[in-house]
Amino acid sequence: MDKKALAELISMVRSIFITVFLGIKMIIRHASVFVAIILGVFASISHASIIEFDQVRDAFGNVVPTISGRAPEPDYGDRISASIMDVSGGQFTYGNGGEGFTPNVVLDFFAENNGVSLWTNQYGDLTNVLIGNNNSISLNVLLTADSGFDVQLYNFDLAGWPNTDYTINAVRVLNGSNTLFSQNNVVVEGDATGPGHTIFDFTTPLTAPELLIQIDYSNLAGGQHDNIGIDNIRFGQSPPAIVPLPAAWLLFVTGLIPVAFYRRKTRDLRLKG
């Protein structure tokens, strides 16, 4: 290698080193900004909403407080992005578990062998619950995330009517053919002498692209199938990171190389001038 080529190589390496050094110096100087960005990425990973079944639409399409015997609205619970959401006919309201909301999740409510309804009272201490109509054998809530997202189930409540305890066949949470949670012979609270409702609380949220909450009361006698209500379904979503943190750092470092060449080219132009 001749002296000129060696000098150019040394100059290029020196420029890269200086640029990397300045980049590290900039990161240190603005550490709080980088920390805020990283925390923002992690803070955006989880979001949670609470379904409370507090509204329906009347015969004229206006949103009104829940009316016993009415079916839940097809769009209730879908793509929640705020505690109060403007919808056709008025506003739907939701609870917030503190983690944020679920704009990438849709819900479906149904009962096996029959439809579903809402009821306002006497399901223990719960207000406004979802029930399967009589002669159904299970009450189901299906939560489906958009492609690239997962649903996270944190908890939900069950209670019996009229302020009565029941033992039902099972409570399950499914992801397709996979059982993520199952409990048999479940006591559903509701009377005044004990807890006002039964809580299913998952310390580590159940997570999958699709979750099915299945309340199996097929063991109950005819006329009692609509005596089990669900409320306060707290669920979330988990989107994948757009750019994983290691990749982001790789992009940052490799991005410094063109800057180094630019600095060298600028220096050469100044020398020629």
User: Could you tell me which residues are beta bridge partners of residue 187?
Assistant: 167
* Rounded CA separation 220/25 (Å): 70
SS3 of residue 74 by DSSP: coil
- Domain count within the chain: 2
The CATH number assigned to the domain holding 223 equals 2.60.120
Sorting pLDDT into bands at 50, 70 and 90, what band is 12? confident
* Rounded CA separation 99/200 (Å): 19
Same domain, 178 and 260: no
Q: What is the pTM of this model?
A: 0.73
Same domain, 36 and 140: no
Neighbours of 130 (CB within 10 A): 26
Would 197 be classed as within a structural domain?
Answer: yes
Same domain, 32 and 164: no
Same domain, 164 and 232: yes
Same domain, 94 and 196: yes
The closest of 101, 63, 55 to 82, measured between CA atoms, is 101
Same domain, 210 and 99: yes
Would 97 be classed as within a structural domain?
Answer: yes
Q: Which of 17-21, 38-42, 101-105 has the lowest mean pLDDT?
A: 38-42
* Rounded CA separation 40/46 (Å): 11
Would 9 be classed as within a structural domain?
Answer: no
Instruction: Calculate mean pLDDT across residues 81-97.
Output: 96
For the segment 124-152, what is each residue's pLDDT rounded down to a tens digit? 999 999 999 999 999 999 999 999 999 99
Would 169 be classed as within a structural domain?
Answer: yes
Q: Does residue 162 have a cis peptide bond before it, meaning omega lies within 30 degrees of 0?
A: yes
Same domain, 27 and 116: no
Would 146 be classed as within a structural domain?
Answer: yes
Would 2 be classed as within a structural domain?
Answer: no
Same domain, 127 and 247: no
- Give the structural domain span for 187: 46-238
- Quick one: tokens of 175? 């992801």
Decide: 48 and 99 in contact? Cβ < 8 Å: yes
pLDDT at 11: 72
Q: Is the pLDDT of residue 257 over 90?
A: no
- Quick one: tokens of 105? 């999740």
Average model confidence (pLDDT) across the chain: 84
pLDDT at 36: 47
Decide: 73 and 55 in contact? Cβ < 8 Å: yes
Name the more confident of 219 and 6.
219
Same domain, 154 and 204: yes
* Rounded CA separation 172/213 (Å): 6
Question: Can you say whether the dihedral through the CA atoms of 120, 124, 126, 132 is positive or negative?
Answer: negative
Would 159 be classed as within a structural domain?
Answer: yes
Would 189 be classed as within a structural domain?
Answer: yes
Same domain, 27 and 90: no
Q: What is the pairing mode between strands 210-216 and 166-175? A: antiparallel
Same domain, 225 and 209: yes
Same domain, 132 and 180: yes
